[in-house]
Structure 1
């Protein structure tokens, strides 16, 4: 069996899909993307295809080593994401060849269902509380909310606004539902230390990304002041980049299977985290291929905690990209383990090709502080 072609598809509103074809007719799908840089990742895949075409798709580990280490210059979000999508597609092929889901090829499932959480969005605490209440009513046992834009060191009202959101959501769902909060790397170190202490009474499942990734070596200063679990990792792309945050004492790591080198590297990151008694909550704000890959990881690592997902089990517009729209079966706050071969989903190729004709040029929003200076997203 040989790889014969790699094709990429720009899928609105902001995604990139990858199709890897073999001479035996087996096709694998992946989701390589850096949000706002889809065309750049597409170009990287075209370059990597020069090596891959003609190769045996089942030599996944060897290809991963060559693609990540075969050039003198290494790492970074673009290369790691391009490799991630290729890695997903090769595991999809490997499972299909063996007639088994990826997690069975990796040693068999460790769980029969995967806990997921719902995102709570908005600006007003009352509206966020209502979203959280509805999510709990729909069966979710965990929700996650975002913070507000923060200046480097702002007035007490900025902290109060975040606390008010957390208080409203906690009151809405009660103590029987977990509540996490994402700070998006916006606070400075002293502000993050203050925030986590203020959030303690609401007993968060975790506080996510209290610092931006370039301050990974400072995260221990946040951990040391609070018993609240600290989570981070969506913008870290290799197991070595997780070392300082794990040594700093984070309780939860959040590698993204479409950014952090695919299924291959995400499982290694989980193994490293296990050495530090840390749990894994994979980051996944993307589409159905990325979610399917996350579920394969979730079923194959022992220290899995909870899975992010933005498909929305009630949002059929996302499911239009799949032949079987019921494959993500949700009940009681969990998604059932995928049992189909490969990634466990069947992408509707005709729909994806039609969407690519429209394409997109999504760019991340640029945020600014009141004085006009750049603000962290």
Structure 2
């Protein structure tokens, strides 16, 4: 039974992109074993949840006090490390490697986009997800499809469409998945689009039951960090898979800890679409080995307990803007 004697919160500044902040949680039990968790863009420090966990008796992470995502992840990491089992195995995962997708943003020209896709294909990727918007959709997708007839393509619309004409037209280019075409609350537009296209319409999870009822999509974008606990993420996976949906697991940004948990969730049997857990930049990560893809494949750590990665605490503390001990 884990008994946490110390909990440390570190707010770190991520050394890439918009330099957002990430909240790290380190748990230490009375025997000296540790567990780590992370939440990117955490609005505040979960001091009350942290205090509730100290010296509390809990047999399983689901029964641990609190409910903050970073603390829950740390509880899972500690609990599985103490039992000598990988987090992926404890959650019900079975795969030792995952096919990854690479996301490519908006480009100056279709020709420049084709060059970027070529670089990724040469690096081993067999699946590419293209960001699209109204006015940047048919032409870039056509250019990529003509250059790479056999490449598996998905598009991410970032909820930017209000009508479906262009999205229906994209279906002729053999798109596998259309992610987030409309605002999430517009279930009806998603349903109408799904009725017209062979591609799978993919949505995020907050309104999953509404989408299942109306058959308004055929794929779930599963982001573990969007759920209070990893068990909640697993339940969303189970619900979608039981209804025949495909699932793409997407990790958060951060220092690598959140991505490591996303890899564990992505190893679940229902996560049938290529995962999106190949970032952040390796040089910004505090985990060893770094979380990322090699040749378009992400390894699942099934021989190491917990998250399956060593933590570079020195680097974490260098990145920390502030730290609290509870």
Structure with the largest fraction of helix: 1
Q: Which of 186, 192, 208 pairs up with 1:221?
A: 192
On the 8 A contact 1:18/1:89 being kept in 2, the answer is yes
TM-score by length of 1: 0.76
> Structure 2 unaligned runs (5+)?
none
Report if aligned partners of 2:100, 2:278 keep a CA contact under 8 Å in 1: no
Residue equivalent to 2:125: 140
Q: CA deviation at 1:338?
A: 1.0
Structure 1: distance between partners of 2:137 and 2:39:
33
* One of 232, 240, 245 as aligned partner of 1:265: 232
Question: Does 1:208 pair with 2:179?
Answer: yes
What SS does the aligned partner of 1:253 have?
Answer: strand
Structure in which a larger fraction of residues adopt strand: 2
Partner of 1:155: none
Within the candidate set 25, 29, 52, 1:18 is matched to 25
Q: Which residue of structure 2 lines up, in the alignment, with residue 179 of structure 1?
A: 153
The offset of 1:56, in angstroms, is 3.6
> 1:217 & 1:87 partners in 2: Cα distance?
35
Give the corresponding residue for 1:302.
Answer: 270
Aligned with residue 219 of structure 2, among 244, 252, 256: 252
What are the equivalent positions in structure 2 for 1:1-377 lying under 5 Å apart?
1-3=2-4, 4-12=6-14, 13-16=19-22, 17-34=24-41, 38=42, 40=43, 42-43=44-45, 45-56=46-57, 58-63=59-64, 67=66, 83-107=68-92, 109-123=93-107, 124-148=109-133, 150=134, 158=135, 161-175=136-150, 177-188=151-162, 191=163, 193-216=164-187, 218-233=189-204, 236-237=205-206, 241-249=207-215, 250-287=217-254, 288-311=256-279, 315-319=281-285, 321-325=286-290, 328=292, 330-331=294-295, 333-339=296-302, 340-357=304-321
Number of aligned positions between the proteins: 312
- Runs of 5+ consecutive residues of structure 1 not aligned to the other structure: 69-82, 151-157, 360-377
Q: Distance in 2 between the 1:171 and 1:358 partners? A: 51
TM-score computed with the length of structure 2 as normaliser: 0.87
Rounded Cα–Cα distance in structure 2 between residues aligned with 1:140 and 1:218: 32
Contact 1:196 1:228 in 2 (8 A): no
Q: Distance in 2 between matches of 1:144 and 1:208?
A: 9
Task: Output the aligned Cα RMSD.
Answer: 2.3
Counterpart of 1:246 in 2: which secondary structure? helix
